[in-house]
Structure 1
Amino acid sequence: MFAEKQVYIGLVCGAVILIIVYIQSRLYNAKHDKTFHISSFSSISLRNEQRLFQLKQKYLLTNLELFSINSTISSNNTKRLIYRCKRICGGLGDRLRGIISGFVLAILSNRHFEIDMTYPCAIETYLKPNLYNWILNNDKQRKPLQVFLYAIDHNKELMTSLRRTNFIEQWLKYDDIILSTNIDMVTPVLTNKLIKHTSLVQMIYEKKIIPTMNNLFPLLYEILFKPTNIVEHKIDNILRLVAIPFVIDPLCEHTITRPISFEINTIRFCINRPESGRGNSVKSIYRYRGKKAFTVADVVICVRCLCLRLNHLAKSSLLCLHIRTYSNPSNPRDPMVPDRLHTAEDMCKYIGTNSTTTILEKNKLQIFVASDSAKAVSTILQYFPNQSLSVPGPIVHIDRPSGKANVCDGFSKVIIDFYLLGECHTSLLTSSGFSAMANRRRLKPYENLFMYQSNKRKIIRCDDSLKETKWESINSTQYIYCTEQGKVISFKHW
């Protein structure tokens, strides 16, 4: 009898070891395979590496040398183009539009691009250079000849110059071009026939790349930016929560706040020390179900929970909501837009009440919500208490902060929201430059994309089959193009 028990234990342990080896090989392959689909937890740095790899393939670029001209820190003799934001210059979406515009103008004019953004907080606190060093050279001995170009919301004279003149030659006499803008200058400037000789324009047309801000933004953003270590850590903490499934077995309830690696380590510990509650490794192992020692049955349960979790992760999906309400108690300095008052409630009804038109199967759905309204966030979290989450921190408009909220903490939250909105399987958005740009960072930005039409209280699905060439040619100046083909719900009839 004792011998049979030993054989049984040996077989179970052997099977568990094989499972661990298999799981670890799958996790290793997922980490190193450049084509894997991001559905479970991986760090934001790994996700961004995957994103940049796919963008390089999309744009048929064998290297990024063209975008790395003068990418080292500038010297006193280097001609520069500096994006500046030291006072009101728009929200994050506006600023990114201005930054990308400045970057393209710098490449076209063969200047080193730098960013001088200190309002309301220094950008270097949250974002750092990725492939291009845009850090401002503050050498006090430098006495450059400068020209200031201010184009917040509009500057007809400047835009005409960028469209119709050889502005590159006009700028040659200046050492520094200081640009403050929130306008899309990329789309008009790349149609200027007088600069078609530049390397960037030639490459764009040779590769048949659509020459618009919307199309180029994902690539140029990844070239310029990656989150700082502090921001990356906060993003990863949220991604871990997103990757953890709901409680799918009472015996596995203890796993809901722990990473998968914990289960693997627990199983290892069970095998190596099946009857001991002591040892160096026990300090890092959760005492499963309150026991001081592990049994074969505990090992089997650990394996079962791990397999259930991995299976669930492969099937679960992340739905992202962005709710821009304009003036509200969290954001009182914005203009009033009455049409946006019912946005959160309408989205909840759309997701949760009509089985024929729900975006995703509810038992596989996790919801991330970002908004300029604490009330809107609270509405979503209360309606989906076990499936929804948001980034903690004060809600602020970085261009018009108000109240006693810590503005820099609010700025950090905005950056984290922006990154997370780029990791969604499905997006349901209100009209906003912020979420439109964040959505462009999704690996498949047109897949499962929904828009809320506030004037009609209607949610429509953007046409997945719409070709990007058609989208860009029709809609290069708008945020997101949606057709009303397919299923539409009007909440006025509810």
Structure 2
Amino acid sequence: MELDTKKNSRFLPTIVVVTSLVLMTMLPAYITKSNEIVPIKEPCPRVYMTNTDNTSVENLLRQSIQTFGTIDKGQRYIVYDCSKAKEGVCGGWSDRMSGILSTLVISLLTKRRFLIKHDKPCLIEDYLIPADRFDWRFNKSILLNKTSSYQDLSARKSTNLRKYLSGSLDINTYFEHDVNFVRMNWDFTEEFRKRRNIEDEIPWVTKLKYADMYKQLFNFLFTPSPLFAKALNEVKSQRTRPKIACAHLRVGGNPTMPGDDRRKRLRVDLVWKHFKKLNKRIYDIFIATDAEHVKRMAKKRYPANIIDTPGKITHIDQPNRNDPGVGFLKQLLDFYTLMNCDVLITSESGFSIFAAYLRDTDSDLYCLRSEGIIPCTRYTINDIFPGHFLAPD
């Protein structure tokens, strides 16, 4: 982080050298709404160092999931469901990503094809499309001549499931239909790691830390759609300085989010003090928050440096009177902006923890606590914040 005054070593977090996995970079083709096949090229392909003790995530996924060619008539499915057609909460963005990761692992354990059905509040593929050559998009044609079931395993409804996830009972007897729609919003990695043969079934579950697991799988599954890439570029066009400093300030229940849980008071004053040390000639500033009054405070303090994403602040599972589609897009824009910040201050929220996981660096990553702003890394962030934000207690 560059300061107006002489650099102080207290503000330099420990650099952690991350040994990661290789994900294959390809030029996939995607079908647009007009049924045209359009090649999408990622402008800055991500390259990861090979972990010699592990096989790539992509190869491990391909061992258990059919990803090429025509669909086998005997194929069976595990479908992550966050659709308007079914009851049950999906949760916020990090809750949904936790559910997707857990559902994907279940598909590997049961040797079934993994798909995503997400249209609450809108189709996820309008904004995020399959990366590389793994197509996770749900198509109702797979239901022809097949049995199906829907299981809401969100929140505390998954107690009985844990015995199957940990290997105490045969998981295939729990998901016995041809097409199993599953709604869950928790990470069950710790349950998966209790399985007796998990190192043979899915080696990376035991070898990867949470941060690397989420980063590799997110980049394996998703890439911005042309529509979302355009929206991201419009946000980036506000930038006038070489770097950007960001904070995610999750307040909890407030007039902007009347139905949200109350939280202990957030020390936003500490963030303003931290940003005061920044060289304003070098840094733009971005604040993601669930409270309009916090956003107004930031704009008042940094009128020349602030950038923002369009739309009203909206919880994607509790839109209230706001347009849920606009709210969903705003939250995705906030998330991708946080992912790419040069300086990132996180609060006690899965949203910013998940964004920190996906950053390409640990440099200038900080955790906001009541006693102060603490330097942290992708690997220590879960230790600094008490409780589990991406997994159940």
**Range with greater deviation from structure 2 (410-419 or 151-160):** 151-160
Structure 2 residue runs of 5 or longer lacking an equivalent are 1-24, 26-39
Question: Does structure 1 retain, via aligned residues, the 8 Å contact 2:348–2:385?
Answer: no
Question: Does structure 1 retain, via aligned residues, the 8 Å contact 2:99–2:184?
Answer: yes
Kindly tell me the number of residue pairs found equivalent between the two proteins: 343
Question: Does structure 1 retain, via aligned residues, the 8 Å contact 2:153–2:183?
Answer: yes
Q: Which amino acid aligns with 2:103?
A: G
Percentage of pairs with the same residue: 23
Q: 1:401 aligns with which of 319, 326, 332?
A: 319
Aligned equivalent of 2:375:
461
Distance 2:306 2:228 in 1: 21
**Runs of 4 or more above 4 Å deviation:** 55-63, 72-76, 470-477
Aligned pairs for 1:338-357 within 5 A: 338-340=264-266, 343-352=267-276
Aligned equivalent of 1:151:
153
TM-score (normalised: structure 2): 0.78
Tell me the alpha carbon deviations over residues 282-329 of structure 1, each in whole angstroms, 9 at most, x when there is no partner.
Answer: xxxxxxxxxxxxxxxxxxxxxxxxxxxxxxxxxx43211111111222
Q: Which amino acid aligns with 1:228?
A: S
Aligned equivalent of 1:219:
216
Aligned equivalent of 1:366:
284
Aligned equivalent of 1:421:
338
SS in 2 for 1:421: helix
Q: 1:233 aligns with which of 218, 227, 230?
A: 230
Structure with the larger helix share: 1
Q: Is 1:176 aligned to 2:179, yes or no?
A: yes
Superposed displacement of residue 166, structure 1: 5.1
Superposed displacement of residue 365, structure 1: 1.8
Q: Which amino acid aligns with 2:318?
A: R
Superposed displacement of residue 137, structure 1: 2.1
Q: 2:355 aligns with which of 438, 445, 462?
A: 438
Question: Does structure 2 retain, via aligned residues, the 8 Å contact 1:90–1:182?
Answer: yes
Structure 1 residue runs of 5 or longer lacking an equivalent are 1-33, 35-42, 246-315, 353-357, 481-494
SS in 1 for 2:265: helix
Distance 1:106 1:140 in 2: 16
Tell me the alpha carbon deviations over residues 133-185 of structure 1, each in whole angstroms, 9 at most, x when there is no partner.
Answer: 11112017624233443321222211232113253443574312221111111
SS in 1 for 2:326: helix
Question: Does structure 2 retain, via aligned residues, the 8 Å contact 1:398–1:411?
Answer: yes
Change (3 A) 1:130 1:215: same
Question: Does structure 2 retain, via aligned residues, the 8 Å contact 1:164–1:192?
Answer: yes
TM-score (normalised: structure 1): 0.63
Superposed displacement of residue 71, structure 1: 2.1
Question: Does structure 2 retain, via aligned residues, the 8 Å contact 1:318–1:368?
Answer: yes
SS in 2 for 1:184: coil
Aligned equivalent of 1:134:
136
Q: 2:189 aligns with which of 186, 191, 198?
A: 186
Aligned equivalent of 1:447:
363
Over the aligned positions, Cα root-mean-square deviation in angstroms equals 3.1
Bigger Rg, which one:
1
Q: Which amino acid aligns with 1:218?
A: K
**Range with greater deviation from structure 2 (145-154 or 214-223):** 145-154
Change (3 A) 1:172 1:235: closer
SS in 1 for 2:300: helix
Distance 2:329 2:234 in 1: 14
Aligned equivalent of 1:319:
245
Q: Which amino acid aligns with 2:270?
A: D
Question: Does structure 2 retain, via aligned residues, the 8 Å contact 1:452–1:460?
Answer: yes
Superposed displacement of residue 389, structure 1: 0.9
Question: Does structure 2 retain, via aligned residues, the 8 Å contact 1:346–1:457?
Answer: no
Change (3 A) 1:83 1:437: same
> Relative contact order (C-alpha < 8 Å, sep 6+): which is higher?
2
Distance 2:167 2:232 in 1: 43
Change (3 A) 1:363 1:130: same
